[in-house]
Amino acid sequence: MSFLSKVKSQILIVARPLVRWLRPAPLNQLRPMSRRWGHERGTSIGRWYIDRFMERNRNDITGVVLEIKNRRYCDSMGHDVTVADVLDVDRNNTNANIFTDLAQADCVPSEKYDCFILTETLQFVFDLNSAIQHAWRILKPDGVLLVSVPAISPQDKELAEVDCWRFTPRGCKLLFGNVFGQENTHVEPYGNFASSVAGLSGIVVEDIPIEELQTYDSMFTHGVLVRAVKR
Ligand SMILES: C[S@@+](CC[C@H](N)C(=O)[O-])C[C@H]1O[C@@H](n2cnc3c(N)ncnc32)[C@H](O)[C@@H]1O
């Protein structure tokens, strides 16, 4: 280390506590406002993007539909739905009628579904390749898979023991593209610094101007949406 660098590092050692004392970071920026995605106050940031993605693709939600945990998007966005199945690994889920780990879903018949809505679930599935293979297998030809996965997100306390992954746009393109074909896989990353920090902090959509959510900054991808078609 040169003499100048040594002097600089000594100055920094002395100056840092002084700067911290003169300009302390506001404590409200260092603690989350909510440990439940802000559910107690409004719409979580991630959900705002997922809802819009589903609205854009609502034409796909038709015929024989499968969803995870409940019929949230099937009921709110579907049209001409003839069957609405709900899959969950959790046997206590009274909304579900198919109980299996998605990575071992051999009990679900092949080519059954026109649409599979797979939101906020793959982070809990260790064997992603197997789960995506099953998603492909159970879709009819031309069937559509609609996916959302988190990129920057707190851990769900209730599911922390099975929480395995966070995702990037590139990772999703490869994961889904390798099974559905790159040309049949459309990946839409979303979010920016504001949405990611707000999402971590439990700030909700009602708290901030919507314009803050509308731009995408690839340095701070908040989550990834995927539409994949079985050709
Ligand atoms: C955070 S919830 C998301 C549910 C809903 N799709 C949504 O968008 O709000 C995750 C759900 O995935 C289920 N799950 C976790 N691991 C799973 C697995 N390996 N196979 C199938 N479902 C799983 C959980 O039991 C839970 O119901």
Domain boundaries of the chain, sorted by first residue: 34-229
Residues 190 and 137: their CA atoms lie apart, in Å, by 28
Give the residue, out of 50, 120, 124, 157, with the most ligand 1 atoms within 8 A of its beta carbon, to mutate for a pocket test: 124
CA 138 to each of CA 33, 38, 99, 156, 220: distance values in angstroms, whole numbers, following the listed order = 41, 35, 15, 28, 33
Atom of ligand 1 nearest to the CA of 101: 20
Tokens of 49: 């993007």
Q: What is the pLDDT of residue 16?
A: 79
pTM of the model: 0.94
Q: What is the pLDDT of residue 201?
A: 95
In short, whether 146's Cβ falls inside 6 Å of ligand 1 is: no
Q: What is the pLDDT of residue 20?
A: 77
Tell me: domain 34-229, CATH 3.30.413.10, correct? no
**Block mean pLDDT (10 aa), the chain, length 231:** 80 80 79 93 97 98 99 98 98 98 98 99 98 99 99 95 98 98 98 97 96 98 99 98
